Structure 1
């Protein structure tokens, strides 16, 4: 009887005590108005690069680059002390030379509310043995 009354909250994103209060506004609007303009400009630039590569080298080359990008974006280290850096993806896309706002002011590991990742729970989530976020790093 008691087991029927227990509701499992593991893996649910609507638990405000674990994940904070969810707001619909944060799903619709970016943190700053220029973020949408920057994102749109970046998408247009990538689209133009793909068109130029298609006209120069043929249709197979941009498809191969997209496949490489997908492979490099999935490669991650196991959760733990050393975070994934995606160096291969940054080298392929040319983002190594870029130095953005998040590179020097928005490192989550510098926050006072940072909680180190539980490596065992992270691997259980990646292997499908447990539910929930891989790395709940903020309280």
Structure 2
């Protein structure tokens, strides 16, 4: 019986298509997020849990479940990958993140960076439909 001598495209769970995804770097896999960013995320998570407990005690357990369902529905509405990014305005209004003042409000938007590769709309739709593997949009160069 002959065994197939095909080389798999994935080695260790990493896409090795250098023409489509660029060269893989090890630093991004080893170095975690910035300490302030991780502190911000844990604080945000703690605040959401406290808000959820207050809603359960005030309105009952069904109200936070309804809000979770609304969050799931609003997080699905997105534009196809391309030049115009999804704003997710409904989700931001529901979660209250419209009032947050993030780094992108006073620094440049990362999507406007010179080192960002242009999006490939065809590959993004292939990934979304399950016809291809890999990230929907390429990362920074």
Shorter-chain TM-score range:
0.7 to 0.9
1:30 pairs, out of 21, 28, 33, with 33
- The residue aligned with 2:78 is 76
Task: For CA contacts below 8 A with separation 6 or more, give which structure has more relative contact order.
Answer: 1
Q: Report how far residue 69 of structure 1 moved.
A: 1.0
RMSD: 2.5
What does 1:48-59 align with in structure 2 at a 5 Å threshold? 48-59=50-61
Instruction: Find 1:123's aligned residue among 117, 122, 125.
Output: 125
Which sits farther off after the overlay, 100-109 or 87-96? 100-109
- Structure 1: runs of 5+ lacking an equivalent: none
Structure-1-length-normalised TM-score: 0.82
Aligned residues: 134
Q: In structure 2, what is the equivalent of residue 4 of structure 1?
A: 5
Match of 2:24 in 1: 20
2:43 aligns with 41
Q: Distance in 1 between matches of 2:123 and 2:84?
A: 16
Gaps of 5+ in 2: none
